[in-house]
Amino acid sequence: MTARAPRAALYARVSTTGKGQDINLQLDELHQVAEQRGWTVVGSYADDGVSGAKDRRPELDRMMGDAQAGKVDIIAVWKLDRLARSVRHLLDVADSLTACGVDLVSVRDAHVDTTSPSGRFTLQILGAVAELERALIQERVQAGVDRARAAGKHCGRPVVEIDLRPALAMLDLGHGLKATASAMGVSRTTLRQRLTEAGEWPRPRGVGKSPPPGPA
């Protein structure tokens, strides 16, 4: 029984049109490679005039949908920067394709071809580099936070400043913490924290009067 030829989807992208970028140059070369390697081209997907800074693109999304539907075996691109805006985005796409059993081939990037062991290894190296980059960024952020705290600077969410005088007046009239916080336009947790920091919470026993009559 003759083995079925791999079904290939060809993806091309240019960010601008009419400025020396011709998307057909990419597609022509992809078709040539497909013919040389014995692939059956089942679809061409071209995002013409679409920035690579966008993770979501009409033709890219359509192609990924066809891959998830089991319509293709290989996705071929002219260069990786036509497909992904960053290493992280590339790895996300590659992971999605792997989950679908679809290979990724870049005809202009040496050794990026997951139909071969060396190509799969190249993507693993890219993943390791991306993981190291994330770890280094986290270390730099944490070091910056530690330095700021050592200098007495606040880190995290901005502190909500509250004039506690009207809050204390409402509490002393017998209003609850929830109603007081709502009237002040802050959360009950924030109001309790600010009162605690000011030494005004919990309120002393016996402080407060019954709230003024009003609608039930």
Calpha distance 83→60 (Å, rounded): 8
Show the tokens assigned to 21: 């970028």
Q: Is 96 a catalytic residue?
A: no
Q: Which of 15, 51, 96, 118 is catalytic?
A: 15
26 to 14, 29, 47, 77: CA distances (angstroms): 9, 5, 12, 8
Report how far apart the first and last C-alpha atoms of the chain are (Å, whole number). Answer: 83
Helix (H, G, I), strand (E, B) or coil at 14: strand
Dihedral, 209, 212, 213, 216 alpha carbons, nearest 10: -90
Kindly list the catalytic residues: 15
